[in-house]
Structure 1
Amino acid sequence: MIRGFTSVDGKLRPVETPMAGFDRLVWIDLANPTAEEEAHVEHRLAIDIPTLEEMQEIEESNRLYIEGNATVMTALVPWGVAEGKPAMGPMTFVLTGGRLITIRYHAPKSVVGFASWAEKIGVDCSNGEATLVGLLESIINREADILEECSRQIDTVSASIFREELAANETSRDFKTLLYQLGRAGELATKVRDSLVTLDRMVTFLYQIVVSRKGTSEKRARLKAVLRDVDSLTAHSDSLSQKVTFLLDATLGLVNIEQNSIIKIFSVVAVIFLPPTLVASIYGMNFDHMPELHFDLGYPLAILLMLVSAFLPYLFFKRKGWL
């Protein structure tokens, strides 16, 4: 699918038939493009659009380069977070002839809604470079929102782990659910950090190009602000990852403590019932000559002996504070 946008007074306006008004477009968004759509755009703009396999290359030289009059940049962009299936997908940004071309094979919320946001807010989208800067700001803002949501989830889990008392209907904490929630939060923070690393490289590369082309001071200032935001979000994601690691260690420690408490209870119960078992075993032997065999009070005496032999270890453990 091809989405096209033109600029009216610096604001983005969608074009219903992008191919018909191709020359007026400042932003061409290729979402899951077909081979025919790629070929058409390549022919009209005389550029080589990278394939999905090329976009997934990890070498920096394959993600950031200048080919003829086109500047090609690729970064990882988060998507699927709102649907509960967070993932990172490569997205390529091409600047050529005053236009911005984006190629993506997923639907990031920050990109899909950028056009309507830019139309309402009125950020500068007079050309491809300005539109790209605004799009990067939208992506960074979205990643900041994701990290904030991730931070709230981690704080909720932390409160559940370190609360002093259990709820009235709980016998123990649901450590399986807590570990699952921590794992998802840690995975999300790691994915966002991977995206921020690629965005940092891309924005630095773009800033050098804008400086070399003597771009406006406003554009350079916006790119510097984006770089500062990326640095601060990277530090925030590192902090969240460290907190997740700490909470995982704490949760596993609490699991070990609870397991040790259960094993201790079983051990104490086994020791308490060991003397009565010994008494019952002795009087359960079938020898002909046993002194208490024909004793009238033998049965209640054996029961009493078993109770006393069980109570004495219990009293000992209680006094030692092992119960």
Structure 2
Amino acid sequence: MIKAFVVENDRLRPADGMDAEQDAIAWVDLYNPTRDEEAAIEKLLGVGIPTREEMEEIEISSRLYVEDGAYFMTATLPSQADTDEPVMSPVTFVLRRNLLVTIRYHEPKAFLAFPMRAEKAAIGCTSSDTILVGLLEAIVDRLADVLERISRDVEALSKDIFNPTATKASKRDRDFQVILKGIGRKESLTANMRDSLTSLQRLSGFLANATTQGKNGKDAKARVKTLSRDISSLTDHASFQSQKITFLLDATLGMINIEQNGIIKIVSVAAVVFLPPTLVASIYGMNFDLMPELKWLFGYPFALGMMVVSAILPYWYFRRRGWL
């Protein structure tokens, strides 16, 4: 699918047609294009565009390069970022003279929100390079929103770990299982955001050279510099969140170990407490003919009393030492 936009009064307007306004088109957005659509854009752009397989290559030289005066920049961006399982896929930006071409195979939210906003308000979309900078700013804002949501979710997980509401051990165990799954999802989401920010950080450095070529080069370069600082700060924030998630993982595993050790301690104490009564019962359960207490009137109560006392004494000793 092809979407084309022209600049009108510092705003974006959908083009009436590729042929009718070909010279005025400033931005062409290719979404999951067919081979015929790719050929049409290549004719308009005057240079070949990368295939999906080429976009997915991870080498810097395959993602950031100049060919016949066209700047090719590829970044990994998320879609469906409102969930804990976003779709990560590369998006290529091609900037040549007065034309911006974007090639993508998924639907990042910024590609829907930015054109709608640029149609309603004048946000400085005066040329292809300022459109690209504005689009990247919208993408970074979207990543910032995702990181803010991650921060809130991580804070909620922290409260669940250190202030559990369940009183029963079995309920706490189930809660910790849910928390572990939540931590795993947040770590995966944070890692995806860091990968995306890293690719954007490299792209912004490369873009600084491309924006100096346009007529609005000074303004665009200043915006790219601000964009780079925003990306750098978000990358640091994502790294901090990743460290915090790792700490929460260790804390959760530690709490689970404490719960398990408490259960094992109770079982061990119970075994020790009931060991002396078992010994007494074993002794008086022997079938010997000559046992002094066998015909004694108080033999049975005496044996029971010894069992009770032998159970109480270890329990009292453990409590005194603070082991219970």
Structure 1 residue 76 corresponds to structure 2 residue 46: no
Counterpart position of 1:49: 49
Asked whether 1:167 is paired with 2:165, we answer: yes
**Taking structure 1 as the reference length, what is the TM-score of the superposition?**
0.92
Q: Secondary structure at the match of 2:39?
A: helix
Per the TM alignment, residue 315 of structure 1 is displaced from its structure 2 partner at its CA by 0.8
Q: CA deviation at 1:16?
A: 6.2
User: Matched residues in 2 for 1:263 and 1:74: separation?
Assistant: 55
Tell me by how many angstroms 1:309 deviates.
0.9
Distance 1:311 1:209 in 2: 83
Q: TM-score, normalised by structure 2?
A: 0.92
In the other structure, the counterpart of 2:228 is 227
The number of equivalent residue pairs is 321
TM-superposition CA deviations, 1:126-163 (whole Å, max 9, x none) = 32111101000000101111111111111111222223
Greater alpha carbon shift after TM alignment, 275-284 vs 285-294: 285-294
CA contact (8 A) 1:199 1:230 kept: yes
Task: Specify every segment of 5 or more residues in structure 1 that has no aligned partner in the other structure, as ranges.
Answer: none
Preserved CA contact (<8 Å) 1:26 1:126: no
Letter of the 2:244 counterpart:
K
Query: In structure 2, what is the equivalent of residue 201 of structure 1?
Result: 202
**CA separation in 1, counterparts of 2:23 and 2:285?**
102
Q: Please, which moves more after superposition, 213-222 or 249-258? A: 213-222
Work out the CA distance in 1 between the residues paired with 2:167 and 2:258. Answer: 21
- Paired position in structure 2 for 1:306: 307
Backbone CA RMSD of aligned residues? 2.0
SS of 1:113's partner is helix
Structure 1 residue 18: Cα displacement? 4.4
Identify the range of structure 1 (181-190 vs 18-27) with the bigger mean alpha-carbon deviation.
18-27
User: Match for residue 212 of structure 2?
Assistant: 211
Shift of 1:21: 4.2
1:1-323 correspondence to structure 2 within 5 Å: 1-15=1-15, 17-18=17-18, 21-163=21-163, 166-167=164-165, 170-171=168-169, 172=172, 174-212=175-213, 215-323=216-324
Cα pair 1:276 1:306 within 8 Å, conserved:
yes
Tell me the SS of whatever aligns to 1:6.
Answer: strand
Deviation at 1:246, TM superposition (A): 1.7
Q: Offset of 1:213 from its aligned partner?
A: 5.2
How far residue 285 of structure 1 moved from its aligned partner, in angstroms, is 2.5
Please, which moves more after superposition, 281-290 or 221-230?
281-290
User: Do the aligned residues in 1 keep the contact of 2:212 with 2:218 (CA within 8 Å)?
Assistant: no
Contact 1:2 1:18 in 2 (8 A): no
1:162-215: CA deviation from partner (whole Å, max 9, x where unpaired):
23xx43655436222222222222222221111111111111111112235564
- Stretches of 4+ moved more than 6 A in 1? none
Asked if the contact 1:87/1:191 (under 8 Å) is kept, the reply is no
Bigger shift: 120-129 or 11-20? Answer: 11-20
Secondary structure, in 3 states, of the residue corresponding to 2:212?
A: helix
Q: Per-residue displacement from partner, 1:229-253 (whole Å, max 9, x unpaired)?
A: 0111111111111111222222222
1:86: how far off? 1.7
Say which is worse superposed, 34-43 or 145-154, in terms of deviation.
Answer: 34-43
Moved more, 121-130 or 224-233: 121-130
Identity across matched positions, percent: 50
Q: Which runs of 5+ in 2 are unaligned?
A: none
Does the residue aligned with 2:66 lie in a helix, a strand or coil? strand
Go from structure 1 to structure 2 and tell me whether the alpha carbon gap of 1:16 and 1:46 turns closer, same or farther (over 3 Å shift). Answer: same
Post-superposition shift, 1:15?
3.6
Deviation at 1:296, TM superposition (A): 3.8
Residue 192 and residue 59 in structure 1: after superposition, are their counterparts in 2 closer, same or farther (change >3 A)? same
Letter of the 1:167 counterpart? T
Equivalent residue letter for 1:99: L
In 2: Cα distance, 1:268 partner to 1:281 partner: 20
